[in-house]
């Protein structure tokens, strides 16, 4: 049975942490205040993303009224030369899941069935090469926590095989390559 984390704010870290920084940058100031024009330019948010490249914490998902962050692991070879137009076409979220497809594939003379990963039709060729790191699930059979989060088993199993230091070095390397311009 997979570890399930209910979707609440109870697991947020202490003030001054990454979670607090997200909440602070995503909070819209009053439209007539001097802070509003700075907030609308999102310079604080860009600074937050840049600082995250060197952080030990990685944000996998944050869905707030004025903020949506969704972490996807993409091979560094796919982002060596960033295709901004391709990335602007994204359309995916953590509710995506594996899909069973049935139909005609290109060049096939008869119907076929195949399984497609969650990011296979996300609107970005770069992100389609990636790995969805967490999945938000909904299950009506649970009364209290119908919606919960599952972490992809690939990074969990890789971490246990590589060990703590190897995992941290690989993650830091990936984050440096995914720098924000």
Q: How far apart are CA 59 and CA 56, in angstroms?
A: 10
pLDDT digit string, tens, across residues 18-31 = 778 888 888 888 99
Phi, psi (rounded to 5 degrees) for 135: -130, 130
pLDDT recorded at residue 3: 45
What percent of the chain lies above the pLDDT cut of 70? 76
The tokens describing 141, both together, are 């059979």
Name the CA dihedral angle for 92, 97, 103, 109, rounded to a multiple of 10 degrees.
90
In the structure encoding, which two tokens stand for residue 16, read together? Answer: 């001054």
What values do phi and psi take at 90, rounded to 5? -65, 150
């Amino acid at each position: 049975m997979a570890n399930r984390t209910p979707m609440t704010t109870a697991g947020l870290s202490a003030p001054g942490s990454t979670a607090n920084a997200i909440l602070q940058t995503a909070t819209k100031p009053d439209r007539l205040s001097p802070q509003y024009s700075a907030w609308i330019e999102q310079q604080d948010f860009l600074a937050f993303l840049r600082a995250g490249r060197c952080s030990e914490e990685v944000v996998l998902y944050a869905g707030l009224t004025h903020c949506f962050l969704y972490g996807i692991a993409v091979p560094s070879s796919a982002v060596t030369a960033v295709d901004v137009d391709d990335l602007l076409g994204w359309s995916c979220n953590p509710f995506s899941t594996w899909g069973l497809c049935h139909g005609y594939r290109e060049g096939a003379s008869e119907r076929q069935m195949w399984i497609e990963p969650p990011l296979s039709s996300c609107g970005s060729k770069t992100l389609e090469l990636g790995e969805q790191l967490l999945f938000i699930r909904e299950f009506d059979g649970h009364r209290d926590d119908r919606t919960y989060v599952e972490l992809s088993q690939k990074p969990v199993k890789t971490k246990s095989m590589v060990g703590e230091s190897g995992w941290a070095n690989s993650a830091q390397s990936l984050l440096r390559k995914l720098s924000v311009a």
